[in-house]
Amino acid sequence: MRPKKIDNEALMKGLTEVIKSKGYDGASLNDLAAASGLKKASLYHRFPGGKEEITRNVLMDIYGQLQENVFGVIADNTRTVKERLSIALQNLTEFYQDGEAVCIIRSLAFGKGLALFGDELRTTINDWIKAFEQLGIEIGLDKAAANDAAMESFIYLQGSLVLSNGLDSPIPFDKALSKIRYMYLR
């Protein structure tokens, strides 16, 4: 009997949800197999490096989405700053499911996750800061102020996700996006 085929997008979505919700240390291969729709042997066949390889692939997938839908949008100078920011914030709203989704950075910033994937997490954070810093420079901020604004935007977003999840309310997330919009469009 042939093993059933699993759509790669559905596979990554299931694996991502487990890593985001349980972190590296908390995610078991049983959890990952159940979320993927694969048996553990099939999961190992696809990811011979086990949980570490799975997590690395999840990170690459998420980074690719952020690169395309946020960083790339912000860098597209064929549009106005307002258009780029609006599209990027709308994409973040979808990406973080109106503030209901857990961020992978938060999930992997503790325990073994940080030791194994710290470079990838720092790359994502630095790319966020570079993109939003450039946006700040384009609206007339000096480099230091643009860097501060970029870091603040990251802090607002991350903090709002924690609050939105903890309070089971999209309001902190919505307020953070409004604050980011105001920072760049005042």
How far is Cα 38 from Cα 75, in angstroms, rounded to an integer? 38
The confidence score (pLDDT) of residue 164 equals: 96
> Is residue 62 scored above 80 in pLDDT?
yes
How far is Cα 131 from Cα 4, in angstroms, rounded to an integer? 41
Residue in 93, 90, 117 with CA at minimum distance from that of residue 105: 117
Predicted TM-score (pTM) of this structure? 0.90
The confidence score (pLDDT) of residue 1 equals: 47
The confidence score (pLDDT) of residue 6 equals: 76
**Domain locations in the chain?**
58-185
Band of residue 13 on the pLDDT scale cut at 50, 70, 90: very high
pLDDT digits over 90-111, tens only?
A: 999 999 999 999 999 999 998 8
Q: What is the mean pLDDT of residues 56-61?
A: 96
SS3 2: coil
Band of residue 186 on the pLDDT scale cut at 50, 70, 90: confident
The confidence score (pLDDT) of residue 15 equals: 97
103 close to 65: Cβ distance less than 8 angstroms: no
% of the chain residues with pLDDT over 90:
91
The confidence score (pLDDT) of residue 4 equals: 55
How far is Cα 78 from Cα 44, in angstroms, rounded to an integer? 44
